[in-house]
Amino acid sequence: MRAVRHIAVNVFRESVRDKVLYSLVLFAVLLIATSYLLGQLTAGQDIKIIKDLGLASISVFGLLIAVFIGIGLVWKEVERRSIYSLLAKPISRAEFVLGKYAGLVLTLLVNIGVMTIAFYAVLVYLGWREIPEVREAWPAPAADPAMLGAIGLIAIELMLVTAIALFFSTFSSPFLSAVLTLGLWVVGHFNADLRDFEAVVESRPAVWLARTLYYVLPNFSAFDIKAQVVHAQPVGVGYLAQTAIYGLVYIALVLVGAAVVFSRRDFK
Amino acid sequence: MKAAVAMVLLLAAVVGLQALREQSGTLAPQAGTGNLLYVRSGEFMTRAVLSFDSLAADVYWIRAVQHYGRSKLSGGVDKKYDILYPLLDLTTALDPKFDIAYRFGAVFLAERPPAGPGRPDQAIALLERGLRAQPGRWQLAQDLGFVHYWYLHDYLRAAEWFKRSSEIPGAPNWLAPLAAVTLAQGGSRGSSRQLWQQVLESADADWLRVQARFRLRQLDAMDQIAALEQAVKLYERRIGSLPMSWADMVRTGDLRGIPVDSERHPFELNPFWGTVTLDRASPLNPLPAPEQPR
Amino acid sequence: MNAIRIEALTKRYNVGFWRPRPYLALDGLTLQVAAGEVFGFLGPNGSGKTTTLKLLMQLIFPTSGSAEILGRPAGDAAVKRRIGYLPEHPYFYDYLTAEELLAYFAGLFGYAAAERRRRASALLDEVGIGAERRFPLRKFSKGMLQRVGIAQALINDPDVVFFDEPMSGLDPLGRREIRNLILRLRDRGCTVFFSSHVLSDAEALCSRVAILAGGRLIAGGPLSELLAFQVRGWELLMSGLDAAVLERFRSGPAITGATPLGGGRFALELPLGIPPERTLAELVAEGAQLVSLTPIRDTLEDVFVERVAAAARSRRLEHPQP
């Protein structure tokens, strides 16, 4: 565990010293500011549009961080051979993989945290500026704490994306890993449609295949409750808990897979 | 080895949780909001998607099909199809030459509930827009005729559209006689049968052939129902009372066995009125409205 | 006790994507290294030296055979605590400084923060990294990275160290420093296993060597034995040599070649058959002064051209190609 923590801290240090990360955070903050300006231009719906844009940009920037750092982490160590001296130290390859993952998750959570704070700051300001009559008409308060549920699920979704990116990067090139990870992410968002596949297709094998994929592929659409939260529709604690557990179990599966693949690998 | 066991267990847990999610469907808050459509202006969307308008049209088309399929599958009350028209509208605005979206989309829209929203007016609006975008497509004019004929029972307009479509270069030669038949005896099962038979023989798309075969089987069922009701009437006249079930008529020799439709579902006899209907579970449901010959 | 024991270690790669063909990177290597020994692992490029070291570090896994370090299988966690490894052409994290890198690696052994800093600083002194230790490693030259690589291999006071081409990228001064470092390690009782394709390194340091070619062990043993018969003449540097005297000697068998070096100095080649002392004495009697006398040896590559060719011939006989 000590080794895992040690590697994780080093990953975090690497990403903090990587200027790409700063610019991503900066861009997210800028986007939230832009959404604020946009809200000024469209009458009435501004609070909803800002919530939409804010949640979407947290999700998208988190995704960029998860994928584009996740795919490079292990690959870079192998490609530059820095892993040679590292693996001669008393750590197992599984600890290496877990440490890399933990470090990236730490980076990700810090980033999501920064974005969330900026997001809520804009919302609090907007709520404070508006006259009470308008505020009454909103379905939910500006700085609605229910959105934390949506952000929490986004965080778990991105942790799963990170795990998948890491898994692919234990055996393939960054480009291929990015394509595969993003591909899975897109497919995972159409997951609900796989269930209803027999509505559009009659071929039995195709339906079975869709069913199997529906059960086995990560169901990313389950993590997306942005629209519900923005429209102040209730999302039960049970749903949040069940989805979170699903995400964490899936993460464990992918990480064990990554550790197994990585433990067998030859570094030619 | 340990890792393999762990992976199998975790995979089982993942599948189990996904199954659990499906069972406790009420937990999924998506159901109510899957029907949200933020942007409804095709003009705006055409600009917003930059050079990917054709691709975006595909996406909206897929969404339209899924929305239709999902609404149709969802049991019971909430078969709203409420964003079907905006989705099709967006699709065809993004890609005005998207033939299948006009043609299939019109069928989706015109279908009577619960198989569709029952909005032939929207179907006509969609097809007319398609025809404006592509005046050379006789199929769209023919489909307009269909919607008027089949869903609105407006045989005059139907005949008009069949005629217009037959005048478009490249139209098949059976369209002109079809217009004439429609005008003369629109609404009769005979003319309907002729219509679908022509479609079946000349269809250039699988779904159209499937549709035509289905309609022909429905017409067969309607013929069967008419014959059965006739037989019930004869039975009543002879015995003095309505049969309680098909078994009564089999016993008297009026029927050779329990009558079934082409999908092997038995017809239903109403012993109080002597009327005959399809089995509720028959895939031939719903039959078109009773004929209204002019 | 043996520090390293390698038994019939074999590594076969499949090369080619569509029709993979097996390629033997290492072919049944058997080897023992005693504790406290400085062992040279020699061979031309591509002979399997790095493959062997990677197998010992479990960076790759053997096709067959086994390797033990300090009596336990290679890759064992307890073994890793007691060894150090310098990879070939080491490369580390761009974003860390040399100090941070060493502290990071020290942390993996569980040392406390103060101990990490102490070890990092002491080792960087030892390998001659000065104020640059606070620069990010991306600014480091190849030679400096090599020094950092050696320092990180020693972070845990290892009982056995594995150096893959420790002298590569170093200037002559650096080479001497590293030689001295290896000798200090030996004096501390540390077993040093290093690979090289430069014979002089091994000559200066090793008690025993193994020579590898084409993935096979082709010679091994104490260095003195192995190289004794490889001397093929002497190079004698003289000054104050009279041209006429030189001419006289050239016509005889005692001097086979002469190259003027400027400043009245000559480099003379003496054959192996005649003892060099005699020729030297005669030249000194003629008034010349001795500058230096060195044996001329085949370079490792020279020796191997023949050996490798022989190995390849025998392999063709074993595995005839259609």
Could you give the CA distance from residue C322 to residue C315 in angstroms, rounded to a whole number? 14
Cα–Cα dist B193/B278, whole Å: 19
What's the Cα-to-Cα distance from A27 to each of A18, A47, A106, A248, C310, rounded to whole Å?
A: 15, 20, 20, 29, 65
The A residues from 191 to 220 touching B (CB cutoff 8 Å) are: 192-193, 195-196, 199-200, 214-216, 219
Q: How far is CA A225 from CA A63, A248, B187, in A?
A: 16, 17, 50
Please state the rounded mean pLDDT for residues B30-46.
57
C-side interface with A, Cβ within 8 Å? Answer: 13, 54, 57-61, 77, 80-81, 83-87, 89-93, 95-96, 104-105, 107-110, 149, 152-153, 162
CB contacts under 8 A, B 49-88 vs A, are 65-66, 69-70, 72-73
- The secondary element (H helix, E strand) that includes residue A184 is helix A174-189
Q: How far apart are the first and last CA of chain B?
A: 79
Residue B292: which pLDDT band, with cuts at 50, 70 and 90? very low
Domain boundaries C2-228, CATH class: alpha beta
**Phi-psi group of C171: left, alpha or beta (phi > 0 → left; psi -120 to 50 → alpha; rest → beta):** beta
Q: How far apart are CA C213 and CA C47, in angstroms?
A: 5
Residue C269 above 60 pLDDT?
yes
**Which residues in chain B belong to E strands, given as ranges?**
268-269, 276-277
Cα(C98)–Cα(A171) distance, integer angstroms? 29
Mean pLDDT over the full length of chain A: 84
**Chain B: touching chains (3 or more CB pairs < 8 Å):** A
How many residue pairs from chains A and B have C-beta atoms closer than 8 A?
82
Gap from A163 CA to chain B (nearest CA, Å)? 14
Report d(CA B2, CA A92) in Å as an integer: 15
Cis peptide before A218 (omega within 30 of 0): no
- What gap in Å lies between CA B42 and CA B85, rounded to an integer? 12
**pLDDT tens by residue, B76-96:** 555 678 788 888 888 888 888
Nearest to B10 among A228, A252, A259 (CB): A252
Chain C contacts of A95, Cβ < 8 Å?
none
Contacts of range B105-108, beta carbons closer than 8 Å, 24 or more positions apart = B105/B64, B106/B143, B106/B147, B107/B211, B108/B64, B108/B68, B108/B81, B108/B84
What is the rounded average pLDDT of the residues A189-212? 75
**Domain segments of chain A: what residues?**
2-263
**Burial class of residue A188 in the structure, from the number of CB atoms within 10 Å of its CB (0-12 exposed, 13-18 middle, 19+ buried):** buried
Which residue in C194, C148, C165, C156 sits closest to C56, CA to CA?
C194
pLDDT attached to residue C317: 63
Question: How much is the ipTM here?
Answer: 0.85
CA distances from residue A158 to A259, B27, C71, C149 in whole angstroms, order as listed: 19, 22, 45, 36
Domain ranges of chain C: 2-228, 231-297
Q: Is residue B33 scored above 60 in pLDDT?
A: no
Q: State how far the Cα of A103 lies from the Cα of A119, in Å rounded to an integer.
A: 24
CA distance A208 to A247: 24
Distance CA B157, CA B143 (A): 12
Cα B221 off chain centre by: 17
Q: Is A220 helix (H, G, I), strand (E, B) or coil?
A: helix
Find chain C residues with C-beta within 8 A of A82's C-beta: 91-93
The class level of CATH for C231-297 reads: alpha beta
Instruction: Report DSSP state, residue A177.
Output: H
**pLDDT(A29) > 70:** yes
| Confidence check: pLDDT of C271 > 90 | no
Residue A192 to residue B34, Cβ atoms within 8 A: yes
How confident is the model at residue B32, as a pLDDT?
41
* Residue C221: both structure tokens together: 């043993």
Are domains C2-228 and C231-297 of this chain identical in fold?
no
What was the pLDDT predicted at A236? Answer: 84
CB C216 within 8 Å of CB C27: yes
Of the listed ranges A17-21, A179-183, B184-188, C258-262, the least confidently predicted one is B184-188
Neighbours of chain C (3+ CB pairs under 8 A): A
**Nearest Cα residue to B53 out of B88, B90, B85:** B90
Q: SS3 sequence, B47-92?
A: HHCCCCHHHHHHHHHHHHHHHHHHHHHCCCCCCCCCCHHHHHHHHH
SS3 content of chain C, % helix, strand, coil (to 5): 40, 30, 30
Cα–Cα distance measured from residue A70 to residue A64, given in angstroms and rounded to the nearest whole number: 9
State which residue of chain C sits closest to A5, comparing Cα positions.
Answer: C108
Least reliable range by pLDDT among B97-106, B170-179, B240-249: B170-179
Q: Which two tokens stand for residue B279?
A: 């089995």
Cβ contact C152:C142 at 8 Å: no
Element (H, E) at C250: helix C243-251
Is the pLDDT at B60 greater than 70? The verdict is yes
Which residue in chain B has the smallest CA separation from A198?
B69
Residue B244 has, within 13 A of its CA and on its CB side, a CA count of 2
- Contact between B147 and B124 under an 8 Å Cβ cutoff? The reply is yes
Count Cβ neighbours within 10 Å for each residue of B258-288 and write b for 16 or more, e otherwise.
Answer: ebebbeebebebeeeebebebbeebebbeee
Cβ-based burial of B81 (10 A; exposed 0-12, middle 13-18, buried ≥19)? buried
Spell out which residues of chain C touch residue A86, defining contact as CB-CB under 8 Å: 105, 108
Tell me the percentage of chain B whose pLDDT exceeds 90: 3
The pLDDT value recorded for residue C312 is: 67
A267 min Cα distance to partner chain C (Å)? 6
pTM: 0.69
- From C298's Cα to the closest Cα of chain A, the distance in A is 32
Query: Cβ(C251)–Cβ(C245) under 8 Å?
Result: no
Within a 10 A sphere around the Cβ of C246, how many other Cβ atoms? 18
Query: Could you report the per-residue pLDDT of C165-177, keeping only the tens digit for each?
Result: 999 888 988 999 9
Q: Are A240 and A58 in contact (CB under 8 A)?
A: no
Average of pLDDT values for B50-59? 68
* Tokens read off for A208: 């079975």
